Structure 1
Amino acid sequence: MQTKSKLLLFVALMLLGLGIATIINISLNFREYSIKSATQKATMAAAIVKDGLTAHMVNGIMDKRGYFLNQISSNNDKIKNLWIVRSDKVIEQYGDGFNSETVRDDIDKEVLKTGKTVQKITESTENSMLRITIPYKATVNNGPNCLSCHNVNRGDTLGAVSMEFDITNMRNAGMFTILKILALNLVFIIVVLFLINYYITPYMKLFSNMQKGIRKAYKGDFSHEFTTSVKGDAKNIIDQLNTLFRKMQETFGDIKYNLATFIPQGCVSSTDPLQEAKTIIGELSDIYKFKKTIEHDPTKEVVYQRVVDVLCNKYELSHFAFYEIDTLKATRKLIYISHGKSVCKDEVDADASLCRAHRTNTTVISSEFVNLCRECNCEGLEYICIPFTINDENSLVLSITAKDRNELNKINAFVKSIENYLEAAKPVIESKILMSKLRDTSLRDAMTGLYNRRFLEEFIDTFASQAKRENTTYSVMMLDVDFFKKVNDTYGHDIGDKVIAKIGEVLHNSIRESDLAIRYGGEEFVVLLHNATDEGTQKIASKIHSEFAKLTFDVGNGKTIQKTMSIGIAKFPRDGDSIWKCIKYADTALYVAKTTGRNKIVEYTPEMLEDEHLR
């Protein structure tokens, strides 16, 4: 309602100003009119005096002029005083005249000297007087010839007629008129203000009601009902607004809560729900783009790098580490660290249960308690560790460090948003893990758990190229169980399968992580020893040979059997410029071992290809 008060005050001031300007203008005009009217009467009186004196002079009765002058003054109540004065030339010719005809003041002197009319107004609180003195000049036309009686020149001032007019009544009448005008103006202002107030109040109530509704809408509440007593277009607008707000309430009223289905509450903080909704939609858009991008990435490692890019570029994290946890094995592997060393102790990698965030499956914030995570080495730093479960077998942990509490609080503000990205990545990562497992399954032998021949065929060229690039060597071993067909024929394939499975265990326990063991087919196995020396190769081959020979297999009826194996060895690139050639040469050495007695380890020599007795 302040707007209405301001408007009424503004209109009142404008009308009052207009009234004052009108009164001032009327006052000035009325004063000017009063003075002009009195001056006209004085001019007429002066003309009468002039004509009368001229007639007296022509008729020779100038000594009777006093009566004539008194009659003019007494017959006009406005003329308070009237007298005439003679100029020096007339006095010189005819004498001083009556006592009343002498110069009385400076105005008389000025008029006699200049020959110009002079008027002066004298005002007091009680009355207002107009003094006017009009010169009487010598003329020769349009009347008597003054030069015939006076020793003067044409246009000389013969004398002056002075009068004092009482214009108090005119002034009072003017003041009364002004007061009436002022009263009329005040009445007019009051009426105008009343009418304005009467007609504008419904509109001001309408505006106030609209403002209230807009304030509620700004907070996301569109339930306001607009009302007005105004008819016509304003009523139509209100009806349209009510219809619009009802639709907005239906469509937008619950949008914040619907969006919370995708973005958990608390990840966006704003007092303006519209701005909050805009931010949430922007967040959803970014996450959608992120998800569509990672869906086309080939492996989980590439997806992890996408997550790292988001953490670096969007959230500008200065120091963080990203871990993958094998829940079944309770081991942790570092995927990425921005720089420096991890703030976690080394033993956590071997035993992931030591990680508080992973163990409790809750976000760990260092500010919540002194030395909250015992496995964290970060003196002078604050930290936030965010766990995230992918499936029953895999989890992630994001460990973020901060310099102080202020930076920690800033990071904590967008933890929920980071979790949204991880949540979006979860099905993709899980899918990549599953695809990796399926692929790994297709490349592994189900009975032994070792890689199969398909794996060797797909990746052997990659190994060879890398080996040449890095000057890497491989010792290639070909293994075969002696008289394995007899086992299947005598005891059945289930016993044969047990033998094959035990070979897988022996190989797995005998070689290093950098080495490869492959079931080549049937009872044949290939082992690639990475950068092994001749001595190391012989040592591993002997271990495999002896460990297998120690095994006993229950064949039923209380009987057991033991089996031996033959091993052929070739060296890459010493014996062949490709690993495939070396596999062939190792197979040749294995054949030599078979044909020369079995149960032995034989290294390939070029002579084996030349001597038919060795093949």
Structure 2
Amino acid sequence: MNTHKKLLLIVTVMLLVLMMAIVINVALNFREYSYKSALNKAQATAEYVRDGLTAHMVNGIMDKREFFLNNIKNHKDIQSFWIIRAPNVIKQFGKGFENEKMRDAIDKKVIESGKMHYTIKESSNEATLRVTIPYVATAYGSPNCLDCHNAKEGDVLGAISLKFNISETRYISLITIAKIIAINIIFLIIALLSINYFFRPILNLFNELNQMIQNADRGDYSKRITLDIQGEGKEVVEQINNLFEKLESTFKNLKTSLSTFVANAKIACQNPLEESQKIIDELSNIYKFKKTIELDRTHEDIFKRIYYILQERFYIKEYKFYLVDKEKNERELLHYCGNINKSDCTKADKDANLCRAFRTHSEVLSIDFEHVCTYCTTDKDTEYLCISFDINNEFSLIISFFTEDQEEYKRIQNIITDIENYLEAAKPVLESKFLMKKLEESSLKDGLTDLYNRRFLEGFLDKFEKQADREKKSYAIMMIDIDFFKNVNDTYGHDVGDVVIKELANTLKSNIRSSDIAIRYGGEEFLVLLYNPDRSKVISIANKIANRFKNIEFHAGDKSFKKTLSIGISYYPEQADSIWQAIKFADIALYVAKESGRNRIVEFTPDMSNEKK
């Protein structure tokens, strides 16, 4: 029910209630007036009869009273009446005429009590008033009742009972009530027509405005009021339409502006105000995230923040997080959550281009096509979704989500853009961290061989030593020198010398473990730290390095040549109190190898220290 109908209904009900109240009040007043009027008439008749009978008694013509009483009985409003004599009057004057006897209990009650009594009988056809009025003896009236009657003051001498037809009075009251009802109905109709005429435009405006507000609550600010209203209402309509036009334009521009800060935002909301609020909330969260990671020390710390966001903010339960080294074309699994065995794509770890998401730089959805990624296998009913995100020209991230729940899969699809917004915020910070790491590594690495340099050794050797002591591990130190390297530079030039240096570096890299460290110690000297080696295999490793290198043929124009190595070996903590001392002992062993003819591998013995001195 609209407001217009509600208002008319409320006014109608109020007026009807008012009309009923007036009618009831008038009806009750008329009824009371009718009864009082009849009672007054009865009392007047009683007094008239009393005075008439008294006159007959004084004049000694009481035997003539019947004529008088019959005249009263024939009055048009009196249906019947009779006189009742009290016992003391009957005793003094006799029973009287037939119409002067007690007829019912009411007569008896009035004679005994000396109080007036009346009853009203109503039917659909007529209304009757029966009233019985006592005559009480008094010496103070005119004439004195006690002069004629053997009675005392206050004794009941008799009573008169009358029946009046009050139907005409009731009819008049009903006609009056009907007129009042008719007048009220006419007033009600006039009032409703007036309200409809004067208030309808305002109510229509209210309904239109209510519809506009409802549409605005759903995000639609395009509705306008089209009613033709004159006067002040017209100005109100114009102002409301102008307001909603500005709101519509403002929210559209606000959404567009905010969306530039949150790339490709997918907010599941049609209301631009709520949508803007959600975008602002998302921007706030991303801003806090970015300000936090800017103060993190390394890119590993930032990755931990991203893991937290995935699990605690986006409620991702199963995923794998990879870092791709574009230069090496390798992919490393940094973190996973959930059952790692649900999906297997380890083939892409050694060749990142086998990863479809990385190769195509697009989302890969297993629901798009069966076996969409050839190198990814999953459990039955497990679906996966992979995204690739470039950090810079050297590194990319790959996140692989997997789940058996179809609803969860759809949810992940819907929040991918939100996840990418966090990655986008992290991108410049990660770039900075990777650059700082690269600069740090470049200061700790030799530019020609890409091996760690002596500065790295000076900065980290104490840490290696403490770690070895804490874990009860050992190191074998190999000091390596290219035999007669100066002749290469002098004969073939430094370019060819650099080639020889690079080849030795490559030989070291390919013949030691990832836990071992190769360092360009200076010039043609190299240092290798073998972590916790099998003592019996150290010489074997040294021979392998020496043999591989001496079989390399170098070319300088139309000439070719080969080079050999001299290697000195020492052991920590077996032979030295510190790794620095072990390096010194390895250097002494190298000196012995070179002094004894070069192209040799010599293990340090304590007596060598004395010989060198």
TM-score normalised over the length of structure 1: 0.90
Corresponding position of 1:67: 67
Instruction: Summarize the alignment of residues 389-538 of structure 1 with structure 2, pairs less than 5 Å apart.
Output: 389-390=389-390, 391-538=392-539
Q: Structure 2 vs 1, CA of residues 53 and 566 (structure 1 numbering), >3 Å: closer, same or farther?
A: same
Q: 1:129 to 1:495 in 2, by over 3 A?
A: closer
Secondary structure of the structure 1 residue equivalent to 2:204: helix
Percent identity (aligned): 47
- Structure 2 distance, partners of 1:246, 1:385, is 43
Q: Deviation digits for residues 120-155 of structure 1, max 9, x if unmatched? A: 334444443333222223222222333333334443
Q: CA deviation at 1:601?
A: 2.4
**Contiguous gaps of at least 5 residues in structure 2:** none
Work out the CA distance in 1 between the residues paired with 2:519 and 2:147: 162
CA distance in 1, matches of 2:111, 2:393: 129
Q: 1:453–1:65: structure 2 CA closer, same or farther, 3 Å change rule?
A: same
Q: Following the alignment from structure 2 to structure 1, what is the Cα–Cα distance between the partners of residues 65 and 243?
A: 98
**Alignment match, 1:203:** 202
Alpha-carbon distance in 1 for matches of 2:155, 2:280? 104
Match of 1:131 in 2: 130
CA deviations over 1:518-563 (Å, ceiling 9, x no partner): 111222211212223344222222233333333343344x333333
Deviation larger for 454-463 or 358-367: 358-367
Please state if 1:610 is matched with 2:605: no
- Cα distance change on mapping 1:112 and 1:492 into 2, 3 Å: closer
* Aligned equivalents of 2:376, 2:492: Cα separation in 1: 58
With over 3 angstroms needed to count, the CA separation of the structure-2 counterparts of 1:161 and 1:499, relative to structure 1, is closer
Match of 2:36 in 1: 36
CA displacement, residues 456-511 of structure 1 (integer Å, 9 cap, x when unaligned) = 22221222121222222222122223333333333332232232222222222332
Residues 577 and 135 (structure 1 numbering): CA distance in 2 closer, same or farther, change over 3 Å?
A: same
Contact conserved, 2:452 with 2:519, CA < 8 A, in 1? yes
Report what 2:83 is aligned to.
84
Partner Cα distance (1:291, 1:370) in 2: 38
Q: Does residue 22 of the first structure (1) align with residue 58 of the second (2)? A: no
1:607 and 1:62 map into 2 onto residues whose CA distance is: 181
Q: Deviations over 1:84-121 (max 9, x none)?
A: 33334333333333343344454444433433323233
In structure 1, the residue matched to 2:247 is 248
Kindly report which structure 2 residues correspond to 1:273-312, keeping only aligned pairs within 5 A, or say none: 273-312=272-311
Quick one: distance in 2 between partners of 1:90 and 1:68? Answer: 20
Give yes or no for contact 1:518–1:525 (8 Å, CA) kept in 2: yes
State the 1:241 CA deviation: 4.0
Inter-partner Cα distance in structure 2 for 1:559 and 1:123: 149
Query: Cα offset for 1:345?
Result: 4.6
Confirm or deny: 8 A CA contact 2:4 2:204 kept in the other structure. Answer: no
Corresponding position of 2:544: 543
Q: Give, as a single letter, the amino acid of the residue that structure 1 aligns with 2:417.
A: K
- 3-state SS of the aligned residue for 2:157? strand
Which residue of the partner structure matches residue 51 of structure 1? 51
* Alignment-mate amino acid for residue 319 of structure 1: E
Alignment of 1:347-426 (within 5 A): 347-390=347-390, 391-426=392-427
Partner residue of 2:330? 331
1 CA distance for matches of 2:551 and 2:376? Answer: 47
Counterparts in 2 of 1:126 and 1:504: CA distance versus 1, 3 Å = closer
1:184 matched to 2:183:
yes
| Displacement of 1:607 | 1.8
SS for the counterpart of 1:254 is helix
The aligned counterpart of 1:12 is 12
Could you tell me whether the CA contact under 8 Å between 2:363 and 2:388 is conserved in 1? no
TM-superposed deviation, 1:335: 0.4
CA gap 1:366/1:545 in 2 versus in 1, 3 angstroms? closer
Partner SS for 1:282: helix
Taking the aligned partners of 2:146 and 2:566, their CA distance within structure 1 comes to 174
Offset from partner CA, 1:29-70 (integer Å, 9 cap, x none): 111112112211221221122122112211212122233334
**For residues 508 and 145 of structure 1, what CA distance do their matches in structure 2 show?**
156
8 Å Cα contact 1:267-1:415 kept in structure 2? no
| Equivalent position of 1:160 in the other structure | 159
For the residue of structure 2 that corresponds to 1:401, the secondary structure is: strand
Task: Give the SS at the match of 1:597.
Answer: coil
Secondary structure of the residue that 1:202 maps to in structure 2? helix
Tell me the CA shift for residue 323 of structure 1.
1.6
Amino acid at match of 1:541: A
Distance 1:316 1:125 in 2: 83
Separation (CA, whole Å) in 2 of partners of 1:116 and 1:339: 104
Counterpart residue identity of residue 596, structure 1: S
Query: CA, structure 1 residues 193+297, in 2 after alignment: closer, same or farther (shift >3 Å)?
Result: same
1:569, CA displacement in angstroms? Answer: 1.8
Distance in 2 between residues matched to 1:423 and 1:309, nearest whole Å: 16
CA, structure 1 residues 67+443, in 2 after alignment: closer, same or farther (shift >3 Å)?
same
Gaps of 5+ in 1: none
Distance 2:554 2:97 in 1: 176
1:104 & 1:426 partners in 2: Cα distance?
118
Per the alignment, do residues 125 and 559 of structure 1 end up closer, same or farther by CA in structure 2, a change over 3 Å counting? closer
Q: 1:141 to 1:538 in 2, by over 3 A?
A: same
Q: Which moved more, 1:201-210 or 1:346-355?
A: 346-355
Moved more, 345-354 or 498-507: 345-354
CA contact (8 A) 1:367 1:382 kept: no
- Provide TM-score, normalisation by structure 2: 0.91
Kindly provide the amino acid, as one letter, of the partner of residue 260 in structure 1: S
Q: 1:95 is matched with which residue?
A: 94
What is the CA-CA distance between 1:344 and the residue it aligns to? 0.7
Aligned counterparts of 1:577 and 1:339: Cα–Cα separation in 2: 46
CA distance in 2, matches of 1:50, 1:389: 123
Instruction: Tell me if structure 2 keeps the 8 A contact 1:218–1:273.
Output: no
Structure 1 residues 216, 339: CA separation in 2 closer, same or farther (over 3 Å shift)?
Answer: closer
Q: Is the 8 A contact 1:325 1:394 kept in 2?
A: yes
Quickly say closer, same or farther: Cα 1:339–1:83, change in 2 above 3 A.
closer
Task: Say if 2:585 is the partner of 1:578.
Answer: no
Q: 1:138 to 1:565 in 2, by over 3 A?
A: closer
Distance 1:83 1:547, change over 3 A: closer
| Alignment partners' CA distance in 1, 2:499 and 2:354 | 38
Aligned residues: 610
Distance 1:546 1:163, change over 3 A: closer
Distance 1:219 1:164 in 2: 77
Paired residue type of 2:510: N
Q: Counterpart of 2:275 in structure 1: which amino acid?
A: E
Q: Mean Cα displacement is larger for which, 378-387 or 467-476?
A: 378-387
State the alpha-carbon separation in 1 of the partners of residues 482 and 119 from structure 2. Answer: 150
Distance across 1 between alignment mates of 2:243 and 2:94:
105
Match of 2:480, SS state, is strand
8 Å CA contact retained: 1:202, 1:230: no
Contact 2:357/2:388, CA 8 A, preserved across alignment: no
CA distance in 1, matches of 2:598, 2:128: 158
- Give the drift of 1:2: 1.6
> How far apart in 2 are the matches of 1:353 and 1:485?
44
Moved more, 167-176 or 204-213: 167-176
Amino acid at match of 1:330: N
* Secondary structure of residue in 1 paired with 2:574: coil
- The answer (yes or no) to whether the contact 1:219–1:274 under 8 Å persists in 2 is no
